[in-house]
Chain A
Amino acid sequence: MSARPETRTPAAPASTATPSSRLLGGRISRWIAVILIVAAILVFFSVANDDWFTIVNYTLIAAIAAISLNVLSGYTGQVSLGIAFFMAIGAYTAAYLGGDVPNTPLDPLGLGLPFIIWLPAAGIVAGLVGALIGPTALRLKGFYLGIVTLSLIFIGQYIFLNARRITGGPQGRAFPVPAIGGATFDQQNSLFGFALTSGQQYFLLILVVLALAALFVYNVMRSRAGRAFRAVRDNETGATIMGVNLFEAKMGSFILSSFLAGIAGALFASYSRYIIPNYWSLALSIQFIAAIIIGGIASVWGSLLGAAFVFGLPLVIDHFSLLPVASGSGIISSGDLNALLYGLLIVVFLLFEPGGVIGLARRAKVLTRKFYTHKDEGGEPAEITDLPSESGSQLDAGNSTLTKGENT
Chain B
Amino acid sequence: MAYFLQIAFAGIALGCIYALIGLGFSIIFKASEVINFAQGELLLVGAYVVSSAVFDWHLNFIIAVLAGVVVTVAIGLLFERFVLQHMIGRPVFSILMITIGLGTILHTAVIVIWGSNPIPAAAPYTITSGFNIGGIHFGLNDLLTIIVTIILCAILFYFFQYTRYGLAMRATALDQEAALAVGINIRTVYALAWGIAAAVATIGGVFLAIGSYAMDPTLGGAALLAFPAIILGGVDSITGAVVGGIIIGLVQDLTAGYESHVASFLGAGIHQITPYLVMILVLLIRPYGLFGTRKVERI
Contact = CB atoms under 8 A, between A and B. Distances in A.
B283 A399 contact: no
B283 A344 contact: no
Interface in B20-58: 33, 35, 37
Nearest to B103: A343
B284 A346 contact: no
A165 to B, nearest CB: 12
Contacts of B279: 147-148, 151
Interface stretch (B146-154, B189-197, B200-208, B266-274): B266-274
B231 A147 contact: yes
Contact residues on B (Cβ < 8 Å of other chain), bracket: 35 or more
B23 to A, nearest CB: 17
B8 interface: no
Nearest to A349: B101
A350 B112 contact: no
A330 B113 CA distance: 5
A100 interface: no
A12 B249 CA distance: 63
Contact of B299 (A144, A146, A286, A406): A406
A199 interface: no
A73 B100 CA distance: 15
A158 B283 contact: no
A203 interface: no
A186 interface: no
Interface string A5-47: 0000000000000000000000000000000000000000000
> Which applies to chain A's interface (DSSP): helix, strand, loop or mixed?
helix
B280 interface: yes
Interface in A147-162: 147-148, 150-151, 154-155, 157-158, 161-162
B178 interface: no
B63 to A, nearest CB: 24
B131 interface: no
B236 to A, nearest CB: 10
Contact of B93 (A77, A336, A403): A77
Interface string B84-119: 001101111110111011111101110111111100
B288 interface: yes
Contacts of A401: 295, 297
A345 B117 CA distance: 27
Interface stretch (A51-59, A211-219, A224-232, A388-396): A388-396
Contacts of B272: 154, 157-158
Contacts of A330: 112-113
A143 B100 contact: no
B299 A407 contact: yes
Contacts of B228: 151
A340 interface: yes
Contacts of A142: 92-93, 96
Contact residues on A (Cβ < 8 Å of other chain), bracket: 35 or more
Contact of A340 (B37, B86, B109): B109
Contact of A147 (B83, B86, B108, B227): B227
B287 A404 contact: yes
B276 interface: yes
Contacts of A136: 280, 284
A161 B288 contact: no
Interface in B249-271: 266-270
Contacts of A393: 90-91, 94
B98 A351 contact: yes
Given A161-B269, A399-B33, A342 B91 contact: no
Contacts of B74: none
A327 B112 contact: yes
B73 to A, nearest CB: 19
B280 A340 contact: no
B254 to A, nearest CB: 17
A140 interface: yes
A286 B93 contact: no
Contact of B269 (A158, A392, A403): A158
Identify the interface centre among B94, B105, B231, B299: most chain A CB within 10 Å of its CB. Answer: B94
Contacts of B277: 155
Interface in A322-363: 326-332, 336, 339-340, 342-347, 350-351, 354
B222 interface: no
The 9 A-B residue pairs whose C-beta atoms are closest, nearest first, are A328-B115, A346-B101, A343-B104, A162-B267, A151-B276, A343-B105, A142-B92, A395-B91, A347-B101
Given A147-B231, A326-B115, A401-B295, 17 more contacts: A136-B280, A141-B92, A290-B101, A326-B116, A328-B115, A330-B112, A340-B104, A343-B101, A343-B107, A392-B93, A395-B93, A395-B94, A396-B91, A398-B92, A399-B92, A400-B35, A402-B295
20 contacts: A140-B283, A142-B93, A146-B35, A147-B231, A151-B227, A151-B228, A151-B280, A154-B224, A155-B277, A158-B270, A289-B100, A290-B104, A332-B112, A343-B103, A343-B108, A346-B104, A350-B97, A392-B93, A398-B91, A402-B288
